[in-house]
């Protein structure tokens, strides 16, 4: 068990809808990362937060947004969903500001299916 | 279980044999590397890491080798067990940046 908790495990929704994915990092970790994993893209970095502030952005669509709350849990909001958004969404946490020398520990993901 | 990818290279080994999984990286500025294991239905699990000032690092039954000259990383698993069956990813961190870049993965199948 990595100590990173993601909810829900599965989510099925229709195109055009909006969903929120939740992540609780490992106790003591200040950094939260979101990754998307689809069959043809592998693991793609979306965004990172450190102690409540956005620190790095990757291939995140404008329809997607995230935030990290004072208790350090994070939410990833996906709106105007399209079929191509169907994927596994992983949250990871680490203790440091950078992923350098501070391995990311992943949750078990949320499987999003858009129909 | 769910597939991580439909077109992953696959390594099939006999139980008890040693496994070697390879990874090539392209950016010479990468300075930190990690191997992850992903089992069906689970998130990537940290196995071992290595910094660019090292050539080799050993863990329990695993060894990571780094060849910076040819930008190559390998993961050796000794006495491979059925529980080692999974998809293995290498990941690199560039210039102490905030994100890890993941490779496309290799599927390891262990034959009983």
Total structural domains in chain B?
A: 1
A69 CB neighbour count, 10 Å cutoff: 10
pLDDT, tens digit, 9 for 90 and up, residues B30-39: 888 999 999 9
- Parent domain of B106: 4-111
Radius of gyration of chain A (CA): 13
Please tell me if residue B43 touches chain A, with a CB cutoff of 8 Å: yes
Residue A35: predicted pLDDT: 95
Please say if the pLDDT value at position B56 is more than 50.
yes
Tokens representing residue A42 in the block: 């592998």
Hey, are the CB atoms on B49 and A103 less than 8 Å from each other? yes
Distance in Å, alpha carbon of B84 to nearest chain A alpha carbon: 16
Please tell me if residue B34 touches chain A, with a CB cutoff of 8 Å: yes
CATH of the domain at B73: 2.60.40.10
How far is Cα B27 from Cα B5, in angstroms, rounded to an integer? 24
Q: Which residues pair with B73 in a beta bridge?
A: B23, B66
pLDDT, tens digit, 9 for 90 and up, residues A36-94: 998 766 789 999 999 999 988 988 999 999 999 999 999 999 999 999 999 999 999 98
pLDDT, tens digit, 9 for 90 and up, residues B74-100: 999 999 999 999 999 999 987 656 678
Cβ atoms of A76 and A9 closer than 8 Å: no
């Amino acid at each position: 068990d990595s100590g990173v908790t993601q909810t829900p495990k599965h989510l099925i929704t229709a195109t055009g809808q909006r969903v929120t994915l939740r992540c609780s990092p490992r106790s003591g970790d200040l950094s939260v990362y979101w990754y998307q994993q689809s069959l043809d893209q592998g693991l793609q970095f979306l965004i990172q937060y450190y102690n409540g502030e956005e620190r790095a952005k990757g291939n995140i669509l404008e329809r997607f947004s995230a935030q990290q709350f004072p208790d350090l849990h994070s939410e990833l909001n996906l709106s105007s969903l399209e079929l191509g958004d169907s994927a596994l969404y992983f949250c990871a946490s680490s203790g440091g500001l950078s992923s350098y020398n501070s391995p990311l520990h992943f949750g078990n993901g949320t499987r999003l299916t858009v129909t | 279980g769910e597939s991580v990818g439909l077109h992953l290279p696959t390594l099939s080994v006999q139980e008890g044999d040693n496994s070697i999984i390879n990874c090539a990286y392209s950016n010479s500025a990468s300075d930190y590397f990690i191997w992850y294991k992903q089992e069906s239905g689970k998130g990537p699990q940290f196995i071992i890491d290595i910094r660019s000032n090292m050539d080799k690092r050993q863990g329990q039954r695993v060894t990571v080798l780094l060849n910076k000259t040819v930008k190559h990383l390998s993961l050796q698993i000794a006495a491979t067990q059925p529980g080692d069956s999974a998809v293995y990813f290498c990941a690199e961190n560039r210039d102490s940046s905030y994100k890890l870049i993941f490779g496309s993965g290799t599927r390891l199948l262990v034959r009983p």
